[in-house]
Amino acid sequence: MSEFSSDRVAIEVSDNGVAHVRFTRGDKMNALDPEQFDAIIAAGEHVSTLKGVRAVVLSGEGKAFCAGLDTSSFAAAPTGENRPLADRTHGNANRAQYAATVWRDCPAPVIAAVHGVCFGGGLQIASGADIRIVRSDTRMAIMEMKWGLVPDMGGYALWRGLVRDDVLRELVYTNREFSGEEARQLGLATFVEEDPLARANAIADEIATKNPHAVRGAKRLFKAMHDENGDAILLAESEEQDQVIRKPNQIEAVMAAMQKRAPTFPED
């Protein structure tokens, strides 16, 4: 795949296979205008196809992770699209939805480091990550009702299993602001840290030491856990395990781990 190039998002891949994806529109609090949507999607697609990526850390430069929709750029059309939103332009999603769901679709686990402000579409993008680390003083909200809109960037699909139904309804209907600490209590954040990026990097580095085939299989199973019935999940578990242990040199690495020797898990 060609090299990634954008003035809105930066990607760096460390030697251990952790892809660091940073929103770089810090002067606008990484707010979402059409170009930002496109850059986020392109970044998600790029890291999803990069060989050797074992984990992804998602963060924002400047004072915010993402302040949500850049309303000034969508004055004429809130979605930034002239075509009907029901048109599926990116698989099972439209463009705005895919900016969030591309991270859930990414084969490697994604850890979002959230600071400053995380409103509306920004919160839905963060919700696409597997794990969310936030500062206690982060300002967060499901903001869309403030503008007379419904949340429509994949949130309803991504929030399943995170937030209690009645709690989510209150947050959506009122668009009230809440802190990073409350987000952890509600289920929208995994951990609260003074330095979310440092904790996100530490988790990503730990994941990078694991068998990448098993990690990717586990992520596929998490998706099936919400979309499939019990019978299908049981079968999927068995199929994923078969794929792991039948790959070349995997059994040797698994046995080394069980015998508390340093395993080397190959990519292929």
Burial class (CB in 10 A: 0-12, 13-18, 19+), 10: middle
Distance CA 193, CA 230 (A): 36
- Among 1.10.12, 1.10.1740, 3.40.1350, 3.30.1490, name the CATH number for the domain at 212-258: 1.10.12
Can you list the positions of beta strands (E) in the chain?
9-13, 18-23, 55-60, 110-114, 117-119, 131-134, 139-141, 178-179, 191-192
Please give the pLDDT value at position 75. Answer: 62
Q: How far apart are CA 261 and CA 239, in angstroms?
A: 27
Q: What is the pLDDT of residue 12?
A: 96
Architecture of domain 9-207: Alpha-Beta Complex (3.90)
Q: Domain residues of the chain, as ranges?
A: 9-207, 212-258
Question: pTM for this one?
Answer: 0.91
Residue owning tokens 């904790």: 199
32-66: b (≥16 Cβ within 10 Å) or e: bbbebbbbbbbbbbbbbebeebbbbbbbbbbebbb
Could you read off the pLDDT tens digit of each residue along the chain, which spans 268 residues?
457 889 999 999 999 999 999 999 999 999 999 999 999 999 999 999 999 999 999 999 999 999 999 988 766 555 445 678 888 889 999 999 999 999 999 999 999 999 999 999 999 999 999 999 999 999 999 999 999 999 999 999 999 999 999 999 999 999 999 999 999 999 999 999 999 999 999 999 999 999 999 999 999 999 999 889 999 999 999 999 989 888 777 777 777 778 777 677 777 6
Of 99, 43, 98, 44, nearest in space to 66 by CA: 99
